Structures are given as structure tokens and as C-alpha cells.
Structure 1
Amino acid sequence: STYENGDALIANEIVQKADIIFGVGGGRACDTCKYVANEMDKPLFVFPTVGSNCASVTAICVMYHSDGSFRDYYYPKLAEHTFINTKIIADSPYELLWAGIGDALSKECEAVFSSKEDELSHTPLMGVQLSKICTEPLLAYGKDALQACKEKKVTNALEQVVLDIIVSTGLVSNMTTQMPDYYYNSSLAHCVYYGSTVTEAGHKHLHGEIVALGVLCLLTYDGKLDERDRIMQFNKEIGLPICFDEIGIKEDEFDVMVEKAITSTEWKFRPKDVTREKFMQCMIEQNKVGRAFRAE
């Protein structure tokens, strides 16, 4: 999802003549179509084919540079409707649902953490409260959903996880984002991800895979160690990373990660107690804890 790709579609005569834009595919395809539809003021209908993200439901696009590094956010209108076919998602790559679980694990802890110092008005308050139903279905149904995806079967577990990843987290995103007034949609877990996009190994791993590790870093930072350990156990069981060794990022790259992270919207709207030094320290601490946990 780059502005260049979107602008190329906007310049396409076929797209210019279209009455409706259909966004079909994964998160980056959906985000590109959201950008195009918004810029061209055309109706948009979205058809997610994977359960890896909430892009099909949200009013935010994650935009990248052509080299794959994070660029910025773009804020389009919402799609007229999102169509979810779990038969299609059950037939999608296992790794994308796996990464989607990792991404969705961030929603509750990031919304609660980023809003903790503020007196919330009705809509963001509702969004933060809704975020609190996003974690448990993933922990309860995640393993069974992944097995169903592996077997290409639609099951209750798969449906619960897909609805959590696409709908629940998407609604939270919409309720907790009102630029430039407030942004509680994501926080330090995504700072870890955006930092990883400038490392040597970061591009070899999926967005949600790295965010899942970022969740552990955030919970370490916030001192919620029991919750961190519970999610770390879950990550270990389904193969999501619990230390940076598992995604090929070295601690001597943490400096460049922090430099990238502090350019993000998440950093701008961080709680006041968050500093560069403390952010780096939570990554170092989680790397240490994760290494020990993996060795058990």
C-alpha cells in the first residue's frame, strides 16, 4: 500500500470510468483501494480474503515507502460495506491467520495503555471498553482456529477468531481514532513493528508476527507481567515470537528501531511517561525474558 500504487490506479482510465471500487484481498490491497476510493470520491465495497488484519473495516490506511519501510497513515472514509466469507478465509494461507492473531492481540493492551492518562469522551471510551473483548477469544479459540485453517474447514473457532480480527478490532480502531484530537488505536507494540521495518531482517516477517512480540514489550513496559507471561505462553504454543532472536533482529539494531519508532503517530500520542530510553529498555528486558522462557 503505497501512494505510488494508489496514484497509478487513479490515473488508470478503467478505474476512472468505474462507478464503484471493489477492494479484494489482504490488508495492503484493501488499504490501497480505500485510498483510491477516497481520493476519487467513489463508493467502496471491501472483500477481505484473509484473516490477518482489520483493514477492511477501518478508516485508516497504513502507507509504506516503495522499499517497504513505514511511511505514514492516511485517513479515508469508511467502506459502504465489508463482506466476510469464512469459506474463503479458511482456504487462505495459514501464516496470515496466524499473524492476524498476533496483530489482534495488541488491540486491548494498546488501547488501554495509550488512553490511561486521559479523561475519555463517549466515543473513545466506548472504543477502549470494546477493546477489552478482543483478547480472550484469541486465547480461547486461537489454536483451534489455526487447526481449522490448516484443514481448510469453517468451524465455530475459526469464525470467532476471524470476527475478532476483522470486526472487533476494526470497530475499536474507528472509535479510538479522531485525528488530530486523539489516537488510542495502537501504541508501543506497533512502535516495535514500525521500528523493525528499518532492520535487516524485519521485512522477512509478517506485520502481526512482529506486533505479537511488541505486545510482550508493551506489557513488560507497563509492568503487567502476569498478563505478559500468559500471552507469552500462548505465543510460544502457536509459534509467535517471544524474543527478538526469533525474528532475526539484534539488540545493536534497537537504536535504529527507536529512531524510526519516534516518527510514528503512536509515539506522538504516547503516554507522558514513555521515553526513548524506557522504550529501548523494555525491548531489552523482553528479549532477556523471552530467551529464558524459550529455553524452559
Structure 2
Amino acid sequence: MVAPISTVISPSRYVQGKGAISRIGEFIATIGSRPLVVVDDVVWGIVRGSVEASFGDAELPIERVGFGRFATPDAVDSLAATIKETGSDVIVGLGGGSAIDAAKAAGHLAGVRWASVPTAASTDAPTSALAVIYTDEGEFLEYRFFPHNPDLVLIDTELVANAPVQFLIAGIGDALATWVEARAARRANAATMAGGLQTETSVALARLSWDILHENALQAIEAVKSKVVTPALEKVVEANTLLSGLGFESGGLAAAHAIHNALTAAPQTHGLSHGQKVNIGTLAQLVLEGAAAEEIEDFVVFTTKVGLPNTLTEIGLSPTDVKDLRAVAEAATVEGETIHNMPFPVTPELVVDALVALEGLSRSIRAEHDLAEPESYRAH
């Protein structure tokens, strides 16, 4: 029997700061000479001038291809074919998490290097050596794992500050799960997405992400509402993108992301972001593991202030939707899902009970603290 190993993986270079997009050519030139840029029309309209100028300074040609909404198998295959047709030696995913994941998956298929350039701090996907693949309708299909992380992750905090604030809030929801899942995986001595057991480094980074968010998230949200870059925003961008990325991949996933994946199968949730659904999963995990009442209360209060959903009705479901909740619970507990990294057996029945419990639990805590439902969910 081969002895278990502990391991941590990470991108080759991480670049963050105000105006970083103006130096993209400088960093891409160190990993390739014929880049293929994957970016949708809206994002391209925002960054085109900066990218073209920087590529020109670095004497790089510009080959750009548009992107749809989801990283689907067909989208990935099409990008891989384009890489071959253009003779590109590096693919650059620029924009949201799906464009970045599709670029990573296509780069792997085509055997070239890849770079992640998120324009919002909305997920921790950019740093990872995996891609989440969806159906055309946005339902979770599979994880694809790669032998290495991106060669470059570059994020311009000025772009983050000028993106819709809901993107940053979604990233906070995704990142808050990192520590909750990593500590569960630690108790279970579970393997991580990195292909081994946790390191002390990965657990510490997961915890650091949690601490930074609690100290800076509300200030960072106000900064984005004002479209300015502040130290609090810089810290939250790093927590959402780098710390959460390293923490989830080398620290381990558990129930929160498994429940997120299952929720994508419910049509009612298709208009919600990754982080919004993950937040429901995180609270459900806290209920599942019997977390202390004070911890659950703090989580509900904090995420309500941030603007994240923590009841079923906020994501279009109801405690009385027995059939839908059962389908979610069964999808969350299929063989191979990360919910089995919890330090105890989890059945569909336990997941249903945890999800149903969220409604009354969250509403009673909000009432006690005189907290209103986040504005963005009242019309859902």
C-alpha cells in the first residue's frame, strides 16, 4: 500500500492591483508568443483598449474569440479546435469564471499553457487546476482535473471596483465556504482536489480567507458601490480569488459545494450566481454538522449584512417543495460527491432536513437582530 501524502498546489504567478490589466502583455509574454484571448463581447468592450496597448508593447499578436454563458463540453471542444487552427501557444480566459474554466479545459486538451484574467472577484475558480463543466442549461455536469494550475492569474482591482457589486458579494459567498469545508475535511482526514491530504499551509490559508472577509467584506462592498479601490477591497479580492482558491483546492471541499452542485439542477436557481448557491450550501453544512448555535447565528447575521441568501425562498425554493428538495439531496449525495468528505455519513434524508431547517432558523435569527431580507432577493 502506498503511504498517503500531503500536498499543496498553486498557480505559477499571481498578479493583483489597480491597473494590472495594463501590464497583461508583459506577463503573458513570459509564457507564450501567440496568445488566444477568450472573452465575451461585453467584457471585451471594457478592456480592449488596455489589452491591445499592452499586447502591442509586448509585441504580441491579438487573436480573440467570443464566449457564451457556460463552460460546456461543446464550448471547450470548440476552443481547443480554435487553438489548433490559430497555432496559439497560450490561451487567456478573460472575464468570468465560466470563460476562465473553458479556457483552462481547452488549453489542457490542446496541450498549451493557460492564463486566468478575471474581471471580477466573483469566484475562486481562476487559480485552480480544475474546471467546472455545465450543461447548456447551466446544470452542473462534472469536474475536470488538470495536471497543473494556470501559469498566470492576473486581476485588476480597478476592474473589480467598477463591476456590479453583486459579483463581489457572490465571491464572498464562495470564499466563506472555504474554511467551513476545509475544517470538515480535516476532521475526516479526507483527500483534497490537489490529490493528497491537507497541508498545514492550505488549512491556514483557508482560515485566513475567512478572517479577512469578516474584517473587510462590508467595507469592500461599500468601496465597489462607490467604484473606488481601497485597502479593504484589495484584501477581499485576494481572499476571494487567491486564498479561497488555494484553500478549497488544497484544503478540501465538503457539503457546501456538493449542495451547490445539486442546486444547479433546480430550474428555480438558474438565475443565481455560484456564490449565492454556495452560501445556502455552507449554512446547510453548518446545520448538518451540528455547529454551535452561536456560530450559526453569526453566519446568518454576517451573510445577511453582506447581501447573501440564507433561506430557501431567497433562491426560489420553499420548505414545502418536497419533490425538488429530495432531488437536490439525492444529487448532492451521489457517489463521488464532495459531501462524502464530511466526517460522518450523509444521506439524502439528512440533506433534506438541513435545507428545510434553514427557513425558520434564518428568519428567527434575522428577526432577533432586526435584520431585513437583502434587497436584491425581495423580488425573486
Q: Give me the TM-score of the superposition, normalised by structure 1.
A: 0.91
Superposed counterparts of 1:211-290, under 5 Å: 211-224=278-291, 225-251=293-319, 252=321, 253-263=324-334, 265-290=337-362
Distance in 2, matches of 1:39 and 1:124, equals: 29
User: Displacement, 1:125?
Assistant: 4.1
Superposed counterparts of 1:55-66, under 5 Å: 55-66=125-136
User: Displacement, 1:282?
Assistant: 1.5
> Contact between 2:179 and 2:206, CA under 8 Å: does it hold in 1?
yes
> Contact between 2:124 and 2:174, CA under 8 Å: does it hold in 1?
no
Distance in 2, matches of 1:109 and 1:269, equals: 12
> Contact between 2:188 and 2:341, CA under 8 Å: does it hold in 1?
no
The structure 1 residue matched to 2:276, chosen from 209, 221, 231, is 209
The structure 1 residue matched to 2:123, chosen from 53, 60, 64, is 53
> Contact between 1:26 and 1:48, CA under 8 Å: does it hold in 2?
yes
User: Displacement, 1:14?
Assistant: 6.8
Residue aligned with 1:7, SS: helix
Match of 1:150 in 2: 225
Superposed counterparts of 1:88-237, under 5 Å: 88-118=159-189, 123-176=198-251, 184=252, 186-224=253-291, 225-237=293-305
User: Displacement, 1:140?
Assistant: 1.2
Of residues 116-125 and 47-56 in structure 1, the stretch that sits farther from structure 2 once superposed is 116-125
Of residues 103-112 and 40-49 in structure 1, the stretch that sits farther from structure 2 once superposed is 40-49
Distance in 1, matches of 2:317 and 2:85, equals: 41
1:204-224 deviation line (CA, Å, top 9, x unaligned): 211101211221111122222
User: Displacement, 1:285?
Assistant: 1.7
Of residues 192-201 and 160-169 in structure 1, the stretch that sits farther from structure 2 once superposed is 192-201
Residue aligned with 1:145, SS: helix
Residue aligned with 1:242, SS: coil
Distance in 2, matches of 1:11 and 1:87, equals: 33
> Contact between 1:48 and 1:83, CA under 8 Å: does it hold in 2?
yes
> Contact between 2:83 and 2:110, CA under 8 Å: does it hold in 1?
no
Of residues 273-282 and 107-116 in structure 1, the stretch that sits farther from structure 2 once superposed is 273-282
Distance in 2, matches of 1:10 and 1:39, equals: 6
User: Displacement, 1:13?
Assistant: 6.2
**Distance change (3 Å), C-alpha of 1:223 and 1:155:** same
User: Displacement, 1:294?
Assistant: 3.4
Match of 2:101 in 1: 31
Match of 1:179 in 2: none
In structure 2, list runs of 5 or more residues that go unmatched: 1-70, 369-380
User: Displacement, 1:123?
Assistant: 4.5
> Contact between 1:10 and 1:16, CA under 8 Å: does it hold in 2?
no
**Distance change (3 Å), C-alpha of 1:146 and 1:155:** same
User: Displacement, 1:272?
Assistant: 3.1
Distance in 2, matches of 1:157 and 1:9, equals: 37
Distance in 1, matches of 2:221 and 2:162, equals: 11
Match of 2:376 in 1: none
Match of 1:85 in 2: 156
Residue aligned with 2:127, SS: coil
Q: Which amino acid is the alignment partner of residue 100 of structure 1? A: G
Q: Which amino acid is the alignment partner of residue 241 of structure 1? A: P
User: Displacement, 1:269?
Assistant: 3.5
User: Displacement, 1:44?
Assistant: 1.2
Distance in 1, matches of 2:125 and 2:272, equals: 19
**Distance change (3 Å), C-alpha of 1:122 and 1:290:** closer
Distance in 1, matches of 2:358 and 2:227, equals: 35
Q: Which amino acid is the alignment partner of residue 219 of structure 1? A: L
User: Displacement, 1:128?
Assistant: 2.3
> Contact between 1:45 and 1:79, CA under 8 Å: does it hold in 2?
yes
**Distance change (3 Å), C-alpha of 1:119 and 1:151:** closer
Residue aligned with 1:84, SS: strand
In structure 1, list runs of 5 or more residues that go unmatched: 177-183
Q: State the identity %.
A: 29
Residue aligned with 2:93, SS: strand
User: Displacement, 1:295?
Assistant: 3.6
Distance in 1, matches of 2:145 and 2:83, equals: 25
Q: Give me the TM-score of the superposition, normalised by structure 2.
A: 0.72
Distance in 2, matches of 1:258 and 1:294, equals: 26
Q: Which amino acid is the alignment partner of residue 275 of structure 1? A: T
1:215-254 deviation line (CA, Å, top 9, x unaligned): 1111122222222211110111122112111111123221
Give the number of equivalent residue pairs: 288
**Distance change (3 Å), C-alpha of 1:11 and 1:171:** same
> Contact between 1:9 and 1:15, CA under 8 Å: does it hold in 2?
no
Distance in 2, matches of 1:108 and 1:102, equals: 12
